[in-house]
Amino acid sequence: HAGIPILIDSTEVAPDVLPDVDALRAALASSLHDSRIAILVSPGRTPLPEPVTSAGAVFSSREDALHWLTAPGE
């Protein structure tokens, strides 16, 4: 449903699959315009090409991702 926050946990994903995770983020963003999307990556892992876009944001801390997803108006 549009408007619900989405957390994509890619901490168990191999680095060569990160482009697929980014494609998933873009597809969800285009389908669910009013939903915030956060992608969780392992600390130290090379982040996705654009850490913060209109399609969502990338975090290495689950706590930070959940805070961003649930914070009103940020």
Q: What is the pLDDT of residue 50?
A: 57
Task: Identify which has the larger pLDDT, 2 or 36.
Answer: 36
What pTM did the predictor assign? 0.73
Q: Please name the residue that has the structure tokens 């969800």.
A: 28
Span 31-69, pLDDT tens digits: 887 888 888 888 776 555 555 555 678 888 899 999 988
Q: What is the pLDDT of residue 57?
A: 82
Euclidean distance between CA atoms 1 and 74, whole angstroms: 20
Q: What is the pLDDT of residue 67?
A: 92
Identity of the residue numbered 57: A
Q: What is the pLDDT of residue 2?
A: 67
Q: What is the pLDDT of residue 45?
A: 65
Residue 33's contacts (CB-CB under 8 Å, 6 or more residues apart) are: 2
